Amino acid sequence: MGWLPPLSSIVSRIWVTKAAPLRTGQEDERAVRLFITMRESTQRPYLFFGGLTGGVACLTTYLVWMQTEVSLALSALVGLNIAAVVAMGLDKSFARSGSLRIPEAVLFIIAFLGGSLGILAGVHMFKHKNRKAAFQLTLLIVFALQVGFLRMVGIGVR
């Protein structure tokens, strides 16, 4: 996960510079436009991180669907769970650097949409949010409900 710390430091710098005015003499025009765009998006972290996670989920869904012979629904489930693991890794990286964090509501939405296994895997892989019993209990309940639903519609391991 060598790419996580640089990304968190970029978001951290963008978040820190949100309150400070930009001096166009110090940065070239492209950097100023990037900072202004990122400033606007980090004021709404739900949209920013939800869009980022959704983009990762769509990209991985497409890649899994095109490279394997599985259905689109199963590819979407795999893509969403991979995006969930990435989101947990990003949040852990952001927590270490003290920058903007992914809201728990976004993580719960990912879990409710089918990424609960990915979130639980991220909890154990990155040792992130493992002291929050309420967070883990909610995720386990969501996961159990999803497994129960899959068993009810006839999908499952025999």
How far is 72 from 74, CA to CA, in rounded Å?
6
Residue 60 has pLDDT above 60, yes or no: yes
Is residue 8 a part of any domain in this protein?
no
When divided into structural domains, the chain yields a total of: 1
pLDDT tens figures, 81-111: 999 999 988 888 888 887 778 888 888 999 9
Find the domain containing 140 and state its range.
45-152
Residue 8 has pLDDT above 60, yes or no: no
Which tops the pLDDT comparison, 5 or 77? 77
Q: Is the pTM of this model over 0.85?
A: no
Is residue 115 a part of any domain in this protein?
yes
Q: Name the 3-class secondary structure at 56.
A: helix
Does the CA dihedral 58-62-68-69 come out positive or negative?
A: positive
Structure confidence at residue 30 (pLDDT) = 56
Is residue 135 a part of any domain in this protein?
yes
